[in-house]
């Protein structure tokens, strides 16, 4: 090794050693980029705790079971609400364009706090208790959700293409807004379609 090569090795080793010594201080001065994407997850799982085998064809007094869950990636603990709603095919779902919830009334509610990076899950056991059919219309008048018996008035017209009376049981995610001291729609919803023909 000649003198120039020795100088080059010495300079490189000195530079590496200096970077190792200065790195902890450099971390305090130079901000490192972090993933600032903050979001919440909302999901519904079938009765076997998987994203399949959701109930479809349901009958009066037949209990169905799904699981609703929320994941918090907001960077802080969040106070959430999940509103359970029921709609027929002509009633409004939440609008993803205007970021507004469905105008339908909530039938059942969950309120809970989730720490950042954690999840929350609960079973939802539901059944249709009363419904009456008149020609091409089916009117659901009573539903049970987690043991609570709820009066509803939801009229569905027969879907001639898919040959059934369809209702969507859906879940909207809301988040507590400290600035207005109430819950605000968090732009997430999931649902399952149910055929009441049976």
Q: How far apart are CA 170 and CA 176, in angstroms?
A: 20
- What's the mean per-residue pLDDT of the chain? 89
Q: What is the CATH number of domain 39-195?
A: 2.60.40.2550
**Under the phi-then-psi rule, with left for phi > 0, alpha for psi from -120 to 50, and beta for the rest, what region is 179?**
alpha
Q: For position 7, what pLDDT does the model report?
A: 72
Q: For position 32, what pLDDT does the model report?
A: 47
Q: How far apart are CA 15 and CA 158, in angstroms?
A: 77
Name the residue ranges covered by the structural domains of the chain. Answer: 1-32, 39-195
CB–CB of 168/191 below 8 Å? yes
Positions in the chain whose pLDDT score sits under 70: 1, 3-6, 9-20, 22-35, 198
Q: For position 197, what pLDDT does the model report?
A: 81
- 108-114: strand order across its sheet: 108-114, 78-88, 166-177, 182-195
């Amino acid at each position: 090794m000649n003198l120039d090569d020795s100088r080059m090795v010495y300079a490189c080793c000195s530079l590496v050693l200096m970077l190792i010594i200065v790195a902890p201080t450099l971390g305090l001065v130079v901000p490192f980029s972090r993933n600032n994407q903050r979001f919440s997850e909302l999901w519904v799982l079938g009765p076997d705790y998987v994203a399949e085998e959701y109930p479809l064809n349901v009958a009066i007094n037949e209990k169905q079971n799904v699981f609703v869950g929320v994941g918090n990636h907001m960077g802080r603990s969040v106070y959430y609400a999940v509103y359970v709603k029921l709609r027929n095919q002509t009633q409004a779902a939440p609008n993803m364009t205007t970021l507004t919830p469905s105008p339908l009334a909530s039938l059942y509610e969950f309120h809970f706090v989730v720490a950042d990076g954690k999840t929350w899950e609960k079973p939802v056991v539901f059944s249709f208790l009363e419904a009456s059919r008149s020609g091409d219309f089916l009117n659901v008048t009573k539903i049970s959700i987690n043991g609570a018996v709820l009066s509803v008035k939801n009229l569905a017209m027969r879907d001639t293409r898919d040959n059934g009376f369809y209702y969507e049981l859906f879940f909207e995610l809301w988040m507590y807004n400290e600035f207005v001291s109430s819950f605000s729609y968090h732009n997430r919803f999931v649902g399952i379609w149910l055929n009441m023909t049976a």
